[in-house]
Amino acid sequence: MKTIAVDIDDTLNDFTATLRNTEFPADERYPLPDAVFKAYLERLRSGSEDASELLVNEFSFFRQRIHLQCYSLARARPDGVEFMRWLRGAGWRIVICSSRDLRRAAPRTRQWLDENEIPFDHLFMAGNKIVFCRAWGIPHLIDDDVFNIVHGPPYGVSVFYPVMDKHKSLPAGQARGFGSFEEVKRWIQE
């Protein structure tokens, strides 16, 4: 059986646009002073990494709460949904491989996939999707993460990525950027 791993955020949906454009009111869900709330939200929207050595801190708790909302609010890419349905019809085993913390987000993630009628066989959380794909014998990965785009091909994983601004500085490589999932459909049938 043919197997493919597919990311969710910014691949099957518009997560970053949702994060940047949604109004998140400072209310009782976030027990923070307004100035801290606004600073954390700006930091989150800019993509700044958490420099703390702690696994959990005030900012990481805030980030998780905002991300949980975005997981529900993000809109599915229509061509991505159609592609996933095509995969199912063509007999592919579909592995949703996300960097989301599924210990906290699995129910919301499954609900979003169901609501958008996106078929899948397995749902996994993976920090390093290249290692995950190699360990599970998955030859194809669709993902927007720069690390996976750069390191997948040298380790035998064909990576396809939706072209975004963050990909402009990528070195020429063997991964393929796409504007539409129709391109991926053609490539995986080659």
pLDDT, tens digit (0-9, with 9 covering 90-100), for 22-45: 999 888 877 889 899 999 999 999
Please report how many Cα atoms fall inside a 13 Å half-sphere around the Cα of residue 126, on the Cβ side.
Answer: 25
DSSP assignment of 46-108: HTPPP--SSSS-HHHHHHHHHHHHHHHHPPBPHHHHHHHHHHHHTT-EEEEEE-S-HHHHHHH
pLDDT, tens digit (0-9, with 9 covering 90-100), for 86-96: 999 999 999 99
| Mean per-residue pLDDT over the chain, rounded | 92
For residue 130, what pLDDT is reported?
97
pLDDT at 50 over 80: no
For residue 172, what pLDDT is reported?
74
Domains belonging to the chain, first-starting first, are 3-13+75-188 (3.40.50.1000), 15-73 (no CATH)
pLDDT, tens digit (0-9, with 9 covering 90-100), for 106-151: 999 999 999 999 999 999 999 999 999 999 999 999 999 999 999 9
pLDDT at 55 over 70: no
How far is 14 from 148, CA to CA, in rounded Å?
Answer: 19
pLDDT at 54 over 60: no
**Under a CB-based contact definition with an 8 Å cutoff, are residues 3 and 138 in contact?**
yes
**Under a CB-based contact definition with an 8 Å cutoff, are residues 7 and 145 in contact?**
yes
Q: Which residues of 117-137 are buried (b: 16+ CB within 10 A; e: fewer)?
A: ebbbeebebbeebbebbeeee
